[in-house]
Amino acid sequence: MAVITITSEFMAGGQRVATGTAEKLGFEFIGDQLVAEVAKQMNMSKHEAETFLKPGSSSIMRYLDRYTCSIVQKVVDREHGCLNDTTYYDKTRKLVEDIYKNENAVILGWGAQCILQKKPETFHVLLKKEPEQKVKDTMEARKCSRQAAEKMIRNDEDEKKAYIQKYFKADWQDPALYNLILDMENYSAESAVDLICKKAQQ
């Protein structure tokens, strides 16, 4: 099977490019729905599972901050045992590996560029954009101040950095992880899709 992984900086068009690439190639698109699959397999709600996406601090402590103790008890007492960062990571890694074995797919995020690094029939893409352009685009799209835009960008990219560092001991922006790096100031989503498809097929 063939898999294209796409990693995107904030406001660099990851969703549009990934879905467009999947559609053009006739591949399955794997994005946020992976959370739902993790939740299903771990017998928990999607809302509960999303708590474990942010590895910047202890997920269990974030969980206690966000939910009542009774809800936490329901989660940790389920048949899968105590739920923690490692359990969640192991489950998402297995799902990505299963997708690789069974599907032609475009995977957006999830550390798939690291999980599937050096696997045959994979192609890894990073979408970038200049910092100032990301701020301008965020201010326009979210109708917010510069300060708010900068905070959104920082929060999003710090979480990506922390996730890849924690589980793969890697820098998520390291060029060595990718077969193709696109500066999205120079490409529309459509032209990026065309180039990714062309390069991946080569």
Name the residue with higher pLDDT: 53 or 190: 190
Task: State how far the Cα of 8 lies from the Cα of 160, in Å rounded to an integer.
Answer: 10
Instruction: Examine the pLDDT at 46 and tell me if it is beyond 70.
Output: no
| Packing angle, helices 14-25 and 189-201, rounded to 10 | 50
pLDDT of residue 1: 65
Worst-scoring range by mean pLDDT, 54-58, 122-126, 128-132? 54-58
d(CA 172, CA 8): 10
Q: How confident is the model at residue 171 (pLDDT cuts 50, 70, 90)?
A: very high
For 62-71, 114-123, 134-143, 177-186, which range has the lowest pLDDT when averaged over its residues? 62-71
Q: In what order do the strands lie in the sheet with 180-183?
A: 28-30, 105-108, 3-8, 122-128, 180-183
Contact 5, 122 (CB under 8 A): yes
CATH 3.40.50.150 describes domain 3-201? no
Question: The tokens 């698109």 sit on which residue?
Answer: 29
Look at residues 8, 92, 25 and name the one whose alpha carbon lies nearest to residue 100: 92
Q: Give the confidence band of 66 by pLDDT, cuts at 50, 70, 90.
A: very low
Assigned token pair, 197: 């498809």
What's the pLDDT score for residue 93? 87
- What pLDDT score does 6 carry? 96
Domain edges within the chain: 3-201
Task: Using the predicted structure, report yes or no on whether residue 61 has a pLDDT greater than 60.
Answer: no
Q: Is 77:85 a contact under the CB 8 Å cutoff?
A: no
Identity of the residue numbered 136: K
Number of H helices, E strands in the chain: 10, 5
Tell which residue, 27, 44, 189, 14, has the closest CA to residue 108.
14
Highest mean pLDDT among 65-74, 87-96, 97-106, 134-143: 134-143
